[in-house]
Every structure is written in structure tokens, then in C-alpha cells.
Structure 1
Amino acid sequence: MAELPEIELFKQKMQRNVLRKKLGSLRLQNAKGELLAEAGGLAEDALQGKEISDIHRYGTQIFCELDRREILALQLGGELTMELERGTSPEAGGENRAGLELAINAQLRLRLQGAQLGSRLRLLDETSDVDFLTKLGPDPLLVPAEGLGHLREALSRRRSALRNVLLDDSFVPGIGPIWADEILFQARLRPDRLVPSLSDEERERLLEQIPMVLQRVLRSQAKTPLLPKGFLTRHREDGHCPSCGGALEPLSIGGKSALFCPACQV
């Protein structure tokens, strides 16, 4: 699962390794290992020879500026694994799993594996439709803690369960189930609480925890053993609350399963 902190760390890795390098061939194969003709509407050689001149991120989108004229947008959220590997490309059909691969400078490969790989690439120029970006909420890793006014206003218009709000990209893009559960645990709020039921103090507590939790995950390199001992995520497998020691419980919200502590989250 690729969520906002993992994608930010991947962007940082790309900045260290692929800036000012040139792109090579683009390959997309299905679960049978068969090569497909196009990836995201792009032919195999569509990006050949173009240099990555800059890299940015917003939400789950990573934007690679090419030759300072076009932008390659990569959508990296959801059920996806991301790798930046050294070495040559495997032969077609050598791996029986769906994958998208972009060669970089003949020595690096950017590889994605997951769902809907063909729709995760967009090549943008000044005439491209970018309405998909206007539907995203503020990026919580780019908004300082003292600048949460937009989130405060957006939260005031919501009526649904807190976990559903956190998973909605129009509120904050890129938060998935793991870090939504963590934010709510640190804010001491049940995932099924409805927004209108929150007191002013509870609203502020929730908003403050969004950037605080994500920044702490970044500092821990999104590695579970490096997270603070008081984080719920460290105890997903043993099933015990790090605060009270009680049993963590699953809770179905909108058809999706959340994890919480019924004693500490109210």
C-alpha cells in the first residue's frame, strides 16, 4: 500500500538518483508476462531520450519535468509497490506478474506493480487538461501546522465518519487506511464518529494530528520498527493498544475495515 509518506520518500529517492538523467524505453506487461503495446497511451519509445530536469510531488502524484517542456505525471497511490532498481531489464514474459517499467539512463529502472498500471501515467504539456488536480485537497506535508485554515474550513462542511473523511482525496490527498487509523488513534477519536459530533477541541486535535503523524512517519522512513512506541501501527499484529494495553478491535466503516482502541478512542 502506497500512502503519502511512502510516496514522499520515493520522490526523495528519485531526486537523489534520477535528476538530469535521460529516459529510455517504457514497458507495460499484464499478469501473464505479456508485453502490451502502450502504457497510459504512450508508446514504448515515447519518452526516449528526454531528460528529467526537475521532480515535484502533490498528494500521490509525482511530477517529472522533462527537458523543461513537458511533465510526466505518475499516480502512485493505493495498492501499489514502487521500486527504483539498478540493472538491466528482464526479458519479456520473464516475470508472470503485471508491471510497468521505465528505463532511466540504461542503468536504472523505475518499476511499478499493482492495479490499473496503464492509467497511472500522463504526459502533460501546456494544452493538457489538469482538472484532476483541482479536485484535490491541500497536501498535509506541504501545509505548515499554523496554516491549517483550509482544512478547518473543509472539515466544517463534512457530515460523514471521520475515517471516511481522512480517506477522501478532496479533503487531504494520499492518506490511506494505515495512517488514517494512526491519526485517529493519536487524536483519541473513534473512526466512526461523525464530524458534526466533534467539539471544537476535538476538531483542533484531529487537524493538528494530520501533519504531526505524517511528519513523524517520514522521520521514521515509514519503517514500522522505527515509529514511536506509542503508535498504534507498531501494534497492528499483536493487537494490543500501546496506551492502555487493551485489545484493539476492527470496525467496518463504509465497507472498509478500521482498527482502533475502544477504550482510548471516544
Structure 2
Amino acid sequence: MPELPEIETVKSIIEPQIRGTTIKNTVVSQAKVIAYPTSSEFCERITGKKIISMSRRGKFLMIHLENGDRIILHLRMTGCLLVTPPDFPMQKHTHVIMQLSCGMELRFSDTRRFGRFWLLKSDEKDGYSGIDKLGIEPLNADFNAEYLRGRFGKRKKAIKECLLDQSVIAGIGNIYSDEILFRAKINPSTAANSLTEKDWERLAIEIPICLRYFIEKNKITQKDYLAAKGQDYRNTPFLQVYGHAGEPCPCCGETLVRTVIGGRSSVYCPNCQKKP
């Protein structure tokens, strides 16, 4: 599933191409991807509306319309957004097409059909998408060790599981939790309530540094993004532990180990990330 850096990449590519355009027509071929309201109402309400901006919240994307309404989108596992010319080859699992006043189309495709759209009015409380339950943005200035310790410090759960809790920190998933813990030299199975003050401080430093690093590494041109059909995330060559179980640690040479924590795989270095 795309995590915060990948969603930020999608936003940075898509927003400049759709900002200031008007949605002339919308076609939904798979009604279930419109979670709220109905597919027909979704199409009716956004038609003729001008797109003002696009933003990200955790792993969600939001398209803001001129009347204050907002389209919320979660890509889930295989969702993809593309801005294409009308004659660009249609991907097999394209479920939503928005025809824009600039002559381009905003297309949403999703092989596994888990991605979802919501459309909320300007004064409507979001009790549908779950975005209102998200925790702090890890790139915010007020994200710090005190916040982490206050929310996780009494938990007996493994710190790996804690970092995946979207109600506390928005946007971190399986990939970057491994990378963050490796950078912070913390064993992923360590109980959160056993972390020291220095551990919390290192985590608070490494989380935004790691995420910003991968946002930078994921940068891609609009042309290359379209050519790769939005699937060419460029983080893989820079991952130090995720996906590298059985290989030497890039820091000490010890063999990286894969384990399962809370039903999720985790890769770590038993030497650099010793358990207390």
C-alpha cells in the first residue's frame, strides 16, 4: 500500500495538472468505488465545479472544489491516479474518469478495487472516510518526543505495531516503520512502555527525516509518471532493511532478519537493533 511519501508524490504530480480546471463530465464504471454518496449523486455534484487545490492527510488525498465541497480518495493497495490525454490507452481497471476543461482526463484505476472516493459538502462533518480519526501528521512542527511518549509510553504493544496506528501518527505503514526503526536503532518487537527517553527522542527525530528523505527520492517528472502509469515509486533502491531479509546489514554486515509482529512482517538487524 502506498504510504505517506508515495501519496505526497501523487499529490505533487497531479495537483499542478488539475488545479484551476473545471470538471466537465464524470464517468463511473464501478459504482462501489464511490463509497459516499451514491455514484450518480457524486457525478452530478462535481460536474461543472472548478478544482481549487489538492491536499494530503495521512494516506488520503483531497481534491478541494470552488464551492467548498471536497473529494476524498484513498488509493488502498493498488489504486492509481493519472492525468491523461483523452486518447491515452485506457488501463484495464479504470473505474472513474473526470473530463477536465483543459482537455485532459483525471483517471482512477484500481486492479483490486479497494480504493474509495467520498464527496463531502463544505459544511458536512466527515463521518464516512475515517479521515477525522487520524492522528498527528509526522511532518508537522508540533510532532515531537513528548507526543510519542504520551501516546505510546504506557502501551505494552511492540513499537512496530504502535507506529502503524493511524489514530496516533498518520501515514506510516509497514515499509517506513521498518526503515524508521532501523535508523533509530530500535528493535521492532520492543514493548513501547520499555523505551527510554533517548529512544523517544531518536524516534521523533528519525520519523520526519526518513519520510522527507523518501519523498525526495520518490520525485518523478509528470512525463515519467504517466509513462509508468503511476506505478513507478522510486524508493526501492534506497530501502535499507525492508524487503532485504537474509541480506547483510548495510551498517554492520550482520544478516537481516524477518519476523512477524502483530500479523505484519518486519525486517531488522539483530546487531544494530538489539532488544533491551
* TM-score category, normalised to shorter length: 0.7 to 0.9
The question of whether the paired residues in 2 share the 8 Å contact of 1:158 and 1:195 is answered with yes
Report the equivalent of 1:32: none
Query: How far, CA to CA, are the matches of 2:172 and 2:33 in structure 1?
Result: 30
SS across alignment from 1:243? coil
TM-aligned CA distance change 1:117 to 1:23, over 3 Å: farther
Query: How far, CA to CA, are the matches of 1:129 and 1:123 in structure 2?
Result: 11
Query: How far, CA to CA, are the matches of 1:194 and 1:254 in structure 2?
Result: 12
Query: How far, CA to CA, are the matches of 1:80 and 1:184 in structure 2?
Result: 26
1:164-203 per-residue CA deviation (whole Å, 9 max, x = no partner) reads 1111101111211111110011111111111011111112
Amino acid in structure 2 at the alignment position of 1:12? S
Report the equivalent of 1:223: 234
Amino acid in structure 2 at the alignment position of 1:4? L
Q: CA offset at residue 55 of structure 1? A: 1.6
Say if 2:161 is the partner of 1:164: yes
The question of whether the paired residues in 1 share the 8 Å contact of 2:70 and 2:122 is answered with no
Quick one: percent identity of the two aligned structures? 26
Give TM-score, length-normalised by structure 2.
0.80
Q: How many residues align?
A: 253
Report the equivalent of 2:172: 175
SS across alignment from 1:13? helix
TM-aligned CA distance change 1:66 to 1:87, over 3 Å: same
Report the equivalent of 2:48: 49
The question of whether the paired residues in 2 share the 8 Å contact of 1:86 and 1:108 is answered with yes
The question of whether the paired residues in 2 share the 8 Å contact of 1:137 and 1:172 is answered with yes
Report the equivalent of 1:248: 256
Query: How far, CA to CA, are the matches of 1:27 and 1:98 in structure 2?
Result: 10
Q: Which runs of 5+ in 1 are unaligned?
A: 30-34
Report the equivalent of 1:59: 58
Report the equivalent of 1:82: 80
Q: CA offset at residue 69 of structure 1? A: 2.5
Query: How far, CA to CA, are the matches of 2:164 and 2:134 in structure 1?
Result: 12
Query: How far, CA to CA, are the matches of 2:213 and 2:176 in structure 1?
Result: 11
Q: CA offset at residue 152 of structure 1? A: 3.5
Amino acid in structure 2 at the alignment position of 1:232? V
Q: CA offset at residue 240 of structure 1? A: 2.4
1:72-92 per-residue CA deviation (whole Å, 9 max, x = no partner) reads 11123x41242313132789x
Q: Which runs of 5+ in 2 are unaligned?
A: 219-232
The question of whether the paired residues in 2 share the 8 Å contact of 1:100 and 1:113 is answered with no
The question of whether the paired residues in 2 share the 8 Å contact of 1:99 and 1:117 is answered with no
Report the equivalent of 2:229: none
Amino acid in structure 2 at the alignment position of 1:258? S
Query: How far, CA to CA, are the matches of 1:238 and 1:46 in structure 2?
Result: 52
Say if 2:136 is the partner of 1:123: no
Query: How far, CA to CA, are the matches of 2:174 and 2:125 in structure 1?
Result: 29
Q: 1:133 aligns with which of 131, 134, 157?
A: 131
Amino acid in structure 2 at the alignment position of 1:154? R
SS across alignment from 1:192? coil
RMSD: 2.8
Say if 2:231 is the partner of 1:232: no
Amino acid in structure 2 at the alignment position of 1:104? L
Report the equivalent of 1:202: 199
Give TM-score, length-normalised by structure 1.
0.82
Amino acid in structure 1 at the alignment position of 2:267? L
> Which one is further off, 145-154 or 185-194?
145-154
Query: How far, CA to CA, are the matches of 1:60 and 1:38 in structure 2?
Result: 17
1:37-89 per-residue CA deviation (whole Å, 9 max, x = no partner) reads 8723222444222111122221112221112321111123x412423131327
The question of whether the paired residues in 1 share the 8 Å contact of 2:79 and 2:114 is answered with no
SS across alignment from 2:254? coil
